[in-house]
Amino acid sequence: MAKTKNTNKANENQEGEPKKYKKALVVGAGAFGTSVATVLAQNFESVVLKVRSKDVYDAILKGENSVYLPGLPIPENLYPALDWEEGDAHGQEDYQLIVSGLPTAGITQFYEENYVRFTRYFEDGVPLVSLSKGIDPDTLEMADDLFYELFNKYRELFTFLSGPSFAKEIMMEQITLATLAGRDRDVIVQVTQMLEAPFFKCLGSYDVKGVLLGGALKNVIAIAGGIIEGLGYNHNTRAAMITRAIAEMLRFGRVFSARSETFYGLSGMGDLILTTTGGLSRNKTFGLEIAKGRSPEEIIQGQRTVVEGYKTAKAAYHLAEKYKIRARIFQGVYKVLYEGANAKEVIEQMMRVPSKFEID
């Protein structure tokens, strides 16, 4: 089954001009992967969205990803593919860009299974954008570590996108800015141009670790934000928590030689504010459910979307233990999620800690 396309329209951008690029591949049809695919559809004649689940595939064929983003139309030059043969059939040109929308936990297995295929792409100089925002709780590795271990010869081709960007609002073409970090200036510039749309723009950075840490750690704080809101705390408490969370995130950053200004930018403060205050955050919603007394396991089993902050809370706790990082908010979230601690009591205990100078 295939969608019926208006070929002339699919080959033009919003201004009716010919599109600059031929073909892109997006791996992972979750909410964020789908939203970035729609951005690419502005500039590419065809965008192949590699799908794992049949229901998502069928939904996209009908014009929307109703599983993750109901009611929002999919561009007509975005094609779902359950297998590689189907994806390769859309256009004769090779892929010019790869976007990995897999959660951190899924990176190694997928790219090991498809190692030969992706090595061929990288040998041809095709860049990859990773959307993963997490830290492996067992190895304490981030997306860059995982990709570099698998494809060490091609490190310069990898970029990492993070920033304040709800998938639903991207689909609605709300103006969105994000950070794109990488090792090679030419690759960063090339990818930012491929991702640029009238409503979407990336700012380049060389601080890969800082961008990845900001994107991962803010998910834990978003859970904390949901918990405090669910417990009835209001704006004063939220503002205090966000401000102190940035201070703790900076301490993690120093361990990885990340730049402090990265945490005050889009992938740090920007993303943190969005996910702790916005109503579309999966991690904040998870925290709200925790505040109702539900267990993490119960919440996770009852939904399909990945809550990266849950596993990252465990990773952050172990990082803090390993490197002696003072991170009371992160430790508090861990105690609530993994030790069954009462959230209100954890907050009260934190308030009893002797005061220090704000800058220390």
> In sequence order, which residues have a C-beta less than 8 Å from that of residue 237 and are 6 or more positions away?
228
- Helix and strand totals (H; E) in the chain: 18, 8
CA angle 291/293/297 to nearest 5° reads 100
What 3-state class would DSSP assign to 159?
Answer: strand
Question: How do 44-50 and 128-130 pair as beta strands?
Answer: unpaired
Give the integer Cα–Cα distance in Å for 160 and 107: 13
Backbone angles phi, psi at 159, to 5 degrees: -130, 160
Going by C-alpha positions, the residue among 165, 193, 166 that lies closest to residue 177 is: 165
Answer yes or no: 314 catalytic.
no
What 3-state class would DSSP assign to 85?
Answer: helix
Could you tell me if 195 and 180 are in contact, meaning their C-beta atoms sit under 8 angstroms apart?
yes
Of 133, 218, 314, 335, the catalytic one is 218
User: Catalytic residues, which ones?
Assistant: 218
